[in-house]
Amino acid sequence: MVQLPTVQFTKEQEQFRLEVRAFLQEEIAKGTFIPKCDSWLSGDDSSFSRLIGQKGWIGITWPKKYGGQERSTIDRYILTEEFLASGAPVAAHWFADRQTGPLLLRYGTEEQREFFLPKIIKGECYFGIGLSEPNSGSDLASVSTRAEKVEGGWLVNGQKIWTSNAHICDYMVTLVRTSPFDGKNKHAGLSQLIVDLHADGITIVPIKFLTGESHYNEVFFDNVFVPDNRVVGEIGNGWAQGLAELAYERSGPERILSTFPLIDELIQELKRQNNTEGLKQASKIVARLWGLRNLSIGVAQLLESGDGENVAIPAALVKAFGTKFEQSIPEITRLLVQTYPTLDAKRKIDRLMAESILHAPGFTIRGGTSEVLYGVVAKGVVTQ
Protein backbone atom coordinates (compact mmCIF):
# COMPACT_ATOMS: atom_id res chain seq x y z
CA MET A 1 0.00 0.00 0.00
CA VAL A 2 0.99 3.57 -0.54
CA GLN A 3 2.17 5.24 2.65
CA LEU A 4 0.35 8.55 2.82
CA PRO A 5 1.98 11.43 4.65
CA THR A 6 0.34 12.93 7.73
CA VAL A 7 -0.40 16.62 7.80
CA GLN A 8 -0.16 18.81 10.83
CA PHE A 9 -1.76 22.17 10.16
CA THR A 10 0.43 25.17 10.96
CA LYS A 11 -0.70 28.02 13.18
CA GLU A 12 -1.14 30.17 10.08
CA GLN A 13 -3.32 27.49 8.51
CA GLU A 14 -5.46 27.20 11.66
CA GLN A 15 -5.82 30.96 11.58
CA PHE A 16 -6.82 30.86 7.92
CA ARG A 17 -9.46 28.21 8.68
CA LEU A 18 -11.00 30.43 11.36
CA GLU A 19 -10.90 33.44 9.06
CA VAL A 20 -12.79 31.57 6.32
CA ARG A 21 -15.26 30.18 8.84
CA ALA A 22 -15.95 33.57 10.39
CA PHE A 23 -16.62 35.03 6.94
CA LEU A 24 -19.03 32.23 6.04
CA GLN A 25 -20.88 32.46 9.34
CA GLU A 26 -21.26 36.17 8.87
CA GLU A 27 -22.68 35.67 5.37
CA ILE A 28 -25.11 33.03 6.66
CA ALA A 29 -26.22 35.44 9.39
CA LYS A 30 -26.73 38.17 6.77
CA GLY A 31 -28.85 35.79 4.73
CA THR A 32 -26.45 35.76 1.78
CA PHE A 33 -26.99 32.03 1.46
CA ILE A 34 -28.89 29.19 3.09
CA PRO A 35 -26.61 26.23 3.86
CA LYS A 36 -27.50 23.15 1.86
CA CYS A 37 -26.22 19.67 1.17
CA ASP A 38 -24.27 18.96 -1.99
CA SER A 39 -23.67 22.68 -2.47
CA TRP A 40 -20.73 22.15 -4.82
CA LEU A 41 -23.10 20.75 -7.43
CA SER A 42 -26.45 22.35 -6.66
CA GLY A 43 -25.48 25.66 -5.07
CA ASP A 44 -24.67 28.05 -7.88
CA ASP A 45 -24.73 31.73 -7.14
CA SER A 46 -22.63 33.98 -9.33
CA SER A 47 -22.78 36.93 -6.95
CA PHE A 48 -21.47 34.70 -4.16
CA SER A 49 -18.71 33.44 -6.47
CA ARG A 50 -17.70 37.04 -7.19
CA LEU A 51 -17.65 37.73 -3.45
CA ILE A 52 -15.35 34.73 -2.97
CA GLY A 53 -13.24 36.05 -5.85
CA GLN A 54 -12.89 39.42 -4.15
CA LYS A 55 -11.62 37.63 -1.04
CA GLY A 56 -8.92 36.06 -3.23
CA TRP A 57 -10.28 32.59 -2.49
CA ILE A 58 -10.49 31.22 -6.01
CA GLY A 59 -7.33 29.78 -7.54
CA ILE A 60 -5.37 30.49 -4.36
CA THR A 61 -2.60 28.08 -5.32
CA TRP A 62 -2.05 29.68 -8.73
CA PRO A 63 0.86 31.99 -9.64
CA LYS A 64 0.65 35.59 -8.53
CA LYS A 65 1.16 36.87 -12.04
CA TYR A 66 -2.33 35.64 -12.94
CA GLY A 67 -3.88 36.97 -9.75
CA GLY A 68 -3.37 33.87 -7.61
CA GLN A 69 -1.67 33.74 -4.25
CA GLU A 70 0.75 30.84 -4.69
CA ARG A 71 -0.58 29.31 -1.49
CA SER A 72 -0.25 25.62 -0.69
CA THR A 73 -2.55 22.76 -1.65
CA ILE A 74 -3.22 22.35 2.05
CA ASP A 75 -4.50 25.94 2.29
CA ARG A 76 -6.82 25.18 -0.61
CA TYR A 77 -7.89 22.00 1.15
CA ILE A 78 -8.83 23.95 4.27
CA LEU A 79 -10.76 26.51 2.23
CA THR A 80 -12.65 23.79 0.38
CA GLU A 81 -13.54 22.00 3.60
CA GLU A 82 -14.93 25.17 5.12
CA PHE A 83 -17.08 25.88 2.03
CA LEU A 84 -18.51 22.38 2.05
CA ALA A 85 -19.01 22.08 5.80
CA SER A 86 -21.01 25.29 5.79
CA GLY A 87 -22.98 24.30 2.66
CA ALA A 88 -21.93 27.44 0.75
CA PRO A 89 -23.09 27.94 -2.88
CA VAL A 90 -19.79 27.40 -4.67
CA ALA A 91 -20.91 25.40 -7.68
CA ALA A 92 -20.56 28.23 -10.22
CA HIS A 93 -16.77 28.55 -9.97
CA TRP A 94 -16.08 25.05 -8.63
CA PHE A 95 -14.97 23.28 -11.80
CA ALA A 96 -12.80 26.14 -13.05
CA ASP A 97 -11.07 26.32 -9.68
CA ARG A 98 -10.61 22.57 -9.34
CA GLN A 99 -9.87 21.48 -12.89
CA THR A 100 -9.62 24.12 -15.59
CA GLY A 101 -7.07 26.32 -13.84
CA PRO A 102 -4.68 23.44 -13.03
CA LEU A 103 -5.17 22.10 -16.58
CA LEU A 104 -4.21 25.43 -18.16
CA LEU A 105 -1.29 25.89 -15.80
CA ARG A 106 0.05 22.53 -16.82
CA TYR A 107 -0.81 22.32 -20.51
CA GLY A 108 -2.21 25.70 -21.60
CA THR A 109 -0.50 28.42 -23.63
CA GLU A 110 0.63 31.65 -22.04
CA GLU A 111 -2.10 33.46 -23.95
CA GLN A 112 -4.73 31.10 -22.56
CA ARG A 113 -3.47 31.55 -19.01
CA GLU A 114 -3.39 35.33 -19.26
CA PHE A 115 -6.84 35.39 -20.84
CA PHE A 116 -8.71 32.94 -18.59
CA LEU A 117 -7.02 32.68 -15.20
CA PRO A 118 -7.54 36.27 -13.96
CA LYS A 119 -11.23 36.08 -14.91
CA ILE A 120 -11.65 32.74 -13.13
CA ILE A 121 -9.91 34.11 -10.06
CA LYS A 122 -12.33 37.06 -9.92
CA GLY A 123 -15.25 34.61 -9.92
CA GLU A 124 -16.52 35.96 -13.23
CA CYS A 125 -15.74 33.13 -15.64
CA TYR A 126 -17.20 29.65 -15.26
CA PHE A 127 -16.22 26.41 -16.91
CA GLY A 128 -18.04 23.18 -17.57
CA ILE A 129 -16.34 19.85 -18.12
CA GLY A 130 -17.33 18.16 -21.36
CA LEU A 131 -16.47 14.51 -21.01
CA SER A 132 -19.51 12.20 -21.02
CA GLU A 133 -21.63 11.46 -24.07
CA PRO A 134 -24.89 9.52 -24.36
CA ASN A 135 -23.06 6.28 -25.11
CA SER A 136 -19.83 7.19 -23.41
CA GLY A 137 -20.11 7.69 -19.68
CA SER A 138 -17.31 6.13 -17.71
CA ASP A 139 -15.88 4.62 -20.90
CA LEU A 140 -14.39 7.84 -22.23
CA ALA A 141 -12.32 6.06 -24.85
CA SER A 142 -15.52 5.73 -26.85
CA VAL A 143 -16.06 9.51 -27.13
CA SER A 144 -17.40 10.32 -30.59
CA THR A 145 -17.87 14.11 -30.65
CA ARG A 146 -15.43 15.08 -33.37
CA ALA A 147 -13.46 18.13 -34.41
CA GLU A 148 -12.32 18.56 -38.00
CA LYS A 149 -9.41 20.77 -38.97
CA VAL A 150 -10.43 23.86 -40.93
CA GLU A 151 -8.71 27.10 -41.78
CA GLY A 152 -7.63 28.79 -38.49
CA GLY A 153 -9.28 26.30 -36.19
CA TRP A 154 -11.57 23.32 -35.70
CA LEU A 155 -15.18 22.55 -36.50
CA VAL A 156 -16.93 20.61 -33.74
CA ASN A 157 -19.94 18.36 -34.21
CA GLY A 158 -21.56 16.03 -31.72
CA GLN A 159 -23.06 16.01 -28.27
CA LYS A 160 -22.02 16.03 -24.62
CA ILE A 161 -24.19 15.09 -21.67
CA TRP A 162 -24.18 15.40 -17.88
CA THR A 163 -22.21 18.64 -18.00
CA SER A 164 -22.79 20.16 -14.58
CA ASN A 165 -24.02 23.73 -14.72
CA ALA A 166 -23.39 24.20 -18.46
CA HIS A 167 -26.38 26.56 -18.49
CA ILE A 168 -24.50 29.09 -16.36
CA CYS A 169 -21.02 28.42 -17.77
CA ASP A 170 -19.10 30.56 -20.21
CA TYR A 171 -16.80 27.87 -21.56
CA MET A 172 -16.45 24.14 -21.65
CA VAL A 173 -13.24 22.11 -21.77
CA THR A 174 -14.43 19.56 -24.30
CA LEU A 175 -12.89 16.18 -25.02
CA VAL A 176 -13.23 15.53 -28.75
CA ARG A 177 -11.99 13.06 -31.29
CA THR A 178 -9.54 14.73 -33.68
CA SER A 179 -8.65 11.59 -35.59
CA PRO A 180 -10.68 8.49 -36.43
CA PHE A 181 -11.30 5.84 -33.77
CA ASP A 182 -8.56 3.22 -33.69
CA GLY A 183 -9.75 0.01 -32.04
CA LYS A 184 -6.15 -0.99 -31.27
CA ASN A 185 -5.30 2.25 -29.51
CA LYS A 186 -8.57 3.50 -28.10
CA HIS A 187 -7.03 6.37 -26.17
CA ALA A 188 -5.29 7.93 -29.16
CA GLY A 189 -6.73 10.74 -31.25
CA LEU A 190 -8.50 12.56 -28.42
CA SER A 191 -7.95 16.28 -27.82
CA GLN A 192 -9.14 18.98 -25.44
CA LEU A 193 -10.68 22.17 -26.84
CA ILE A 194 -12.02 25.18 -24.98
CA VAL A 195 -15.43 25.79 -26.50
CA ASP A 196 -17.15 29.14 -26.01
CA LEU A 197 -20.64 28.16 -24.88
CA HIS A 198 -22.06 31.38 -26.35
CA ALA A 199 -20.75 30.54 -29.83
CA ASP A 200 -22.98 29.89 -32.85
CA GLY A 201 -24.07 26.29 -33.20
CA ILE A 202 -24.27 25.53 -29.46
CA THR A 203 -27.54 24.34 -27.98
CA ILE A 204 -27.80 23.69 -24.25
CA VAL A 205 -30.73 21.63 -23.03
CA PRO A 206 -31.25 21.25 -19.28
CA ILE A 207 -31.85 17.80 -17.83
CA LYS A 208 -34.35 17.80 -15.00
CA PHE A 209 -32.83 16.12 -11.96
CA LEU A 210 -34.95 14.00 -9.58
CA THR A 211 -35.24 17.00 -7.24
CA GLY A 212 -36.99 18.88 -10.04
CA GLU A 213 -33.99 21.20 -10.43
CA SER A 214 -31.66 21.25 -13.44
CA HIS A 215 -27.93 21.01 -12.72
CA TYR A 216 -26.99 18.76 -15.61
CA ASN A 217 -27.29 19.58 -19.26
CA GLU A 218 -27.01 18.18 -22.71
CA VAL A 219 -24.82 20.28 -24.96
CA PHE A 220 -25.16 19.97 -28.74
CA PHE A 221 -22.51 21.12 -31.23
CA ASP A 222 -23.56 21.91 -34.78
CA ASN A 223 -20.54 23.09 -36.79
CA VAL A 224 -19.16 25.06 -33.85
CA PHE A 225 -15.96 26.87 -34.79
CA VAL A 226 -13.14 26.73 -32.25
CA PRO A 227 -10.08 28.80 -33.13
CA ASP A 228 -6.60 27.22 -32.99
CA ASN A 229 -5.65 29.24 -29.92
CA ARG A 230 -8.32 27.38 -27.93
CA VAL A 231 -6.69 23.98 -28.25
CA VAL A 232 -5.37 22.88 -24.84
CA GLY A 233 -1.99 21.17 -24.96
CA GLU A 234 -1.28 18.94 -27.89
CA ILE A 235 -3.70 17.61 -30.45
CA GLY A 236 -4.08 13.88 -29.80
CA ASN A 237 -2.89 14.13 -26.19
CA GLY A 238 -6.31 14.67 -24.64
CA TRP A 239 -6.47 11.35 -22.86
CA ALA A 240 -3.16 11.75 -21.03
CA GLN A 241 -4.00 15.37 -20.15
CA GLY A 242 -7.37 14.33 -18.76
CA LEU A 243 -5.86 11.55 -16.68
CA ALA A 244 -3.46 13.95 -15.04
CA GLU A 245 -6.39 15.83 -13.50
CA LEU A 246 -8.18 12.79 -12.14
CA ALA A 247 -6.33 12.62 -8.85
CA TYR A 248 -7.42 16.21 -8.11
CA GLU A 249 -10.97 15.46 -9.13
CA ARG A 250 -11.31 12.29 -7.11
CA SER A 251 -9.53 12.85 -3.85
CA GLY A 252 -10.88 16.16 -2.55
CA PRO A 253 -13.07 16.79 0.47
CA GLU A 254 -16.09 17.10 -1.86
CA ARG A 255 -16.07 13.31 -2.05
CA ILE A 256 -16.62 13.07 1.71
CA LEU A 257 -18.50 16.17 2.81
CA SER A 258 -21.43 16.48 0.38
CA THR A 259 -23.84 15.57 3.18
CA PHE A 260 -21.89 17.16 6.04
CA PRO A 261 -24.54 19.84 6.76
CA LEU A 262 -26.93 16.97 7.51
CA ILE A 263 -24.44 15.24 9.84
CA ASP A 264 -23.93 18.50 11.68
CA GLU A 265 -27.66 19.03 12.10
CA LEU A 266 -28.11 15.40 13.22
CA ILE A 267 -25.58 15.94 16.00
CA GLN A 268 -27.27 19.22 17.02
CA GLU A 269 -30.63 17.42 17.13
CA LEU A 270 -29.25 14.58 19.27
CA LYS A 271 -27.67 17.13 21.59
CA ARG A 272 -30.97 19.01 21.92
CA GLN A 273 -32.61 15.71 22.86
CA ASN A 274 -29.78 14.92 25.28
CA ASN A 275 -29.63 11.55 23.52
CA THR A 276 -26.34 10.01 24.66
CA GLU A 277 -27.08 6.64 23.09
CA GLY A 278 -27.76 8.33 19.76
CA LEU A 279 -24.56 10.34 20.05
CA LYS A 280 -22.62 7.13 20.71
CA GLN A 281 -24.01 5.75 17.47
CA ALA A 282 -23.23 9.01 15.70
CA SER A 283 -19.62 8.86 16.93
CA LYS A 284 -19.16 6.13 14.33
CA ILE A 285 -19.92 8.69 11.63
CA VAL A 286 -17.32 11.00 13.12
CA ALA A 287 -14.79 8.14 13.21
CA ARG A 288 -15.46 7.17 9.59
CA LEU A 289 -15.20 10.76 8.47
CA TRP A 290 -11.91 11.17 10.33
CA GLY A 291 -10.51 8.00 8.72
CA LEU A 292 -11.41 9.15 5.22
CA ARG A 293 -10.20 12.67 5.84
CA ASN A 294 -6.75 11.33 6.77
CA LEU A 295 -6.58 9.62 3.39
CA SER A 296 -7.84 12.62 1.51
CA ILE A 297 -5.43 15.08 3.16
CA GLY A 298 -2.62 12.58 2.65
CA VAL A 299 -3.30 12.57 -1.10
CA ALA A 300 -3.41 16.38 -1.11
CA GLN A 301 -0.02 16.43 0.58
CA LEU A 302 1.40 13.98 -1.98
CA LEU A 303 0.12 16.20 -4.79
CA GLU A 304 1.65 19.24 -3.06
CA SER A 305 5.05 17.57 -2.84
CA GLY A 306 4.89 16.67 -6.52
CA ASP A 307 4.77 12.93 -5.85
CA GLY A 308 1.90 12.53 -8.27
CA GLU A 309 2.80 9.05 -9.48
CA ASN A 310 1.60 7.25 -6.41
CA VAL A 311 -1.71 9.01 -6.03
CA ALA A 312 -3.93 7.23 -8.56
CA ILE A 313 -4.86 4.35 -6.26
CA PRO A 314 -5.41 6.29 -3.03
CA ALA A 315 -7.27 8.99 -4.97
CA ALA A 316 -9.62 6.39 -6.46
CA LEU A 317 -10.04 4.86 -2.99
CA VAL A 318 -10.97 8.25 -1.52
CA LYS A 319 -13.68 8.68 -4.13
CA ALA A 320 -15.03 5.12 -3.91
CA PHE A 321 -15.05 5.00 -0.10
CA GLY A 322 -15.81 8.69 0.45
CA THR A 323 -18.89 8.77 -1.76
CA LYS A 324 -20.19 5.55 -0.19
CA PHE A 325 -19.81 7.26 3.16
CA GLU A 326 -21.60 10.47 2.21
CA GLN A 327 -24.30 8.39 0.57
CA SER A 328 -24.87 6.46 3.81
CA ILE A 329 -25.59 9.55 5.91
CA PRO A 330 -29.33 9.99 5.24
CA GLU A 331 -30.01 6.35 6.11
CA ILE A 332 -28.02 6.56 9.36
CA THR A 333 -29.77 9.84 10.20
CA ARG A 334 -33.28 8.52 9.76
CA LEU A 335 -32.54 5.63 12.10
CA LEU A 336 -31.39 8.02 14.83
CA VAL A 337 -33.95 10.83 14.62
CA GLN A 338 -37.46 11.14 13.30
CA THR A 339 -37.62 13.24 10.16
CA TYR A 340 -40.17 14.14 7.48
CA PRO A 341 -37.98 14.91 4.48
CA THR A 342 -39.28 17.50 2.03
CA LEU A 343 -37.36 19.99 -0.04
CA ASP A 344 -39.42 22.97 1.16
CA ALA A 345 -39.57 21.90 4.81
CA LYS A 346 -39.34 24.62 7.47
CA ARG A 347 -37.46 22.35 9.86
CA LYS A 348 -33.79 22.36 8.88
CA ILE A 349 -33.12 18.65 9.33
CA ASP A 350 -36.13 17.73 7.21
CA ARG A 351 -34.91 19.88 4.34
CA LEU A 352 -31.28 18.66 4.59
CA MET A 353 -32.55 15.06 4.68
CA ALA A 354 -34.58 15.62 1.51
CA GLU A 355 -31.57 17.17 -0.27
CA SER A 356 -29.34 14.31 0.85
CA ILE A 357 -31.71 11.50 -0.09
CA LEU A 358 -32.40 12.93 -3.53
CA HIS A 359 -28.80 13.87 -4.33
CA ALA A 360 -27.19 10.74 -2.88
CA PRO A 361 -27.58 8.45 -5.90
CA GLY A 362 -25.33 10.80 -7.88
CA PHE A 363 -22.41 10.74 -5.44
CA THR A 364 -21.13 7.33 -6.51
CA ILE A 365 -21.62 8.13 -10.20
CA ARG A 366 -20.22 11.58 -10.99
CA GLY A 367 -16.47 11.72 -11.54
CA GLY A 368 -16.21 8.03 -12.41
CA THR A 369 -18.64 5.38 -11.18
CA SER A 370 -17.62 3.24 -8.24
CA GLU A 371 -17.49 0.23 -10.53
CA VAL A 372 -14.89 1.89 -12.75
CA LEU A 373 -12.90 3.05 -9.73
CA TYR A 374 -12.95 -0.46 -8.30
CA GLY A 375 -11.42 -1.68 -11.54
CA VAL A 376 -8.67 0.94 -11.34
CA VAL A 377 -7.85 0.10 -7.72
CA ALA A 378 -8.00 -3.69 -8.13
CA LYS A 379 -5.64 -3.65 -11.09
CA GLY A 380 -3.29 -1.25 -9.32
CA VAL A 381 -3.22 -3.26 -6.10
CA VAL A 382 -2.58 -6.56 -7.86
CA THR A 383 0.27 -5.23 -10.02
CA GLN A 384 1.94 -3.34 -7.15
Partner 1 sequence: MSEMKDMILDVVERMLKENVDKDLVDIIEQGKWASDLWRLLEENGMNVVAISEDNGGAGGDLEDLLNIVRLTGKYAAPVPFIETTLANYLLEQTNLQVVDGLATYMLATNQAFVLEDGKLTGEAVHIPWARHTKHFVTLANSADGIHLVEIDLSHAKIIPGTNLASEPRDTVTFDHALVSQVSAALSFDEISAMTTLETAFQLALMTGAIDKINELTVQYTKEREQFGRPIHRFQLVQQHIVNLAGETAIALAAFNNITDALLNNRQNNEVAYARIRFEESIQAVATISHQVHAAIGTTHEHALHQYTRRLWAWRDEGANASYWADVVATQLLENSGDSLWNYLTDTKQTAIKL
Residue 84: CB minimum distance to partner 1, A: 10
291 lines the binding site for partner 1 (CB under 8 A): yes
Q: How far is the CB of 365 from partner 1 (least distance, A)?
A: 17
Among 254, 242, 330, which Cα is nearest to 38's? 254
Is residue 90 within the footprint of partner 1 (CB under 8 A)? no
Among 135, 268, 305, 342, binds partner 1 (CB under 8 A): 268
- Interface residue with partner 1, options 58, 295, 353, 372 (CB under 8 A): 295
Query: Is 256 near partner 1 (CB under 8 A)?
Result: no
Q: Which is nearer to partner 1, 158 or 298 (CB)?
A: 298
Least distance to partner 1, CB of residue 329, Å:
12
- Part in contact with partner 1 (CB under 8 A); list of ranges 8-16, 54-62, 113-121, 148-156: 8-16
Are the C-beta atoms of residues 313 and 2 closer than 8 Å to each other? yes
Q: How many CB atoms lie within 10 A of CB 170?
A: 17
Q: Does 340 bind partner 1 (CB under 8 A)?
A: no
Query: C-beta of 382: minimal distance to partner 1 in Å?
Result: 5
377 binds partner 1 (CB under 8 A): yes
- Told to check if 264 binds partner 1 by CB under 8 A, we report yes
Q: How far is the CB of 274 from partner 1 (least distance, A)?
A: 7
- In the complex, least distance from residue 215 CB atom to partner 1, rounded to whole angstroms: 25
3-state secondary structure string across the chain: CCCCCCCCCCHHHHHHHHHHHHHHHHHHHHCCCCCCCCHHHHCCCHHHHHHHHHCCCCCCCCCHHHCCCCCCHHHHHHHHHHHHHCCCCCHHHHHHHHHHHHHHHHHCCHHHHHHHHHHHHCCCCCEEEECCECCECCCHHHCCCEEEEECCEEEEEEEEECCCCHHHCCEEEEEEECCCCCCCCCCCCEEEEEEECCCCCEEEEEECCCCCCCCEEEEEEEEEEEEHHHEECCCCEHHHHHHHHHHHHHHCHHHCCCCHHHHHHHHHHHHHCCCHHHHHHHHHHHHHHHHHHHHHHHHHHHHHCCCHHHCHHHHHHHHHHHHHHHHHHHHHHHHHCCCCCCCCCCCHHHHHHHHHHHHHHHHCCCCCCHHHHHHHHHHHHHHC
- Sequence-ordered list of residues with C-beta below 8 angstroms from that of 309, at least 6 positions apart, any chain: none
By the rule CB under 8 A, 1 interacts with partner 1: yes
Establish whether 111 is a catalytic residue: no
- Considering only 3, 31, 306, 309, the residue that binds partner 1 (CB under 8 A) is 3
- Nearest to partner 1 of 197, 316 (CB atom): 316
> Is 229 an interacting residue with respect to partner 1 (CB under 8 A)?
no
With CB under 8 A as the rule, give the number of residues binding partner 1. 52
Site for partner 1 in 20-79 (CB under 8 A): 21
Which is catalytic among the residues 82, 249, 269, 304?
249
- Does position 8 interact with partner 1 (CB under 8 A)? The reply is yes
309 binds partner 1 (CB under 8 A): no
Member of 286, 340, 342, 361 binding partner 1 (CB under 8 A): 286
Does 14 bind partner 1 (CB under 8 A)? Our answer is yes
Q: Quote the CA–CA distance of 235 and 189 in Å, as a whole number.
A: 8
Q: Which residues are catalytic?
A: 249
The binding site for partner 1 (CB under 8 A) comprises: 1-6, 8-9, 14, 17, 21, 81, 85-86, 260, 263-264, 267-268, 270-271, 274, 276, 279-284, 286-292, 294-295, 298, 313-314, 317, 320-321, 373-375, 377-378, 381-382, 384
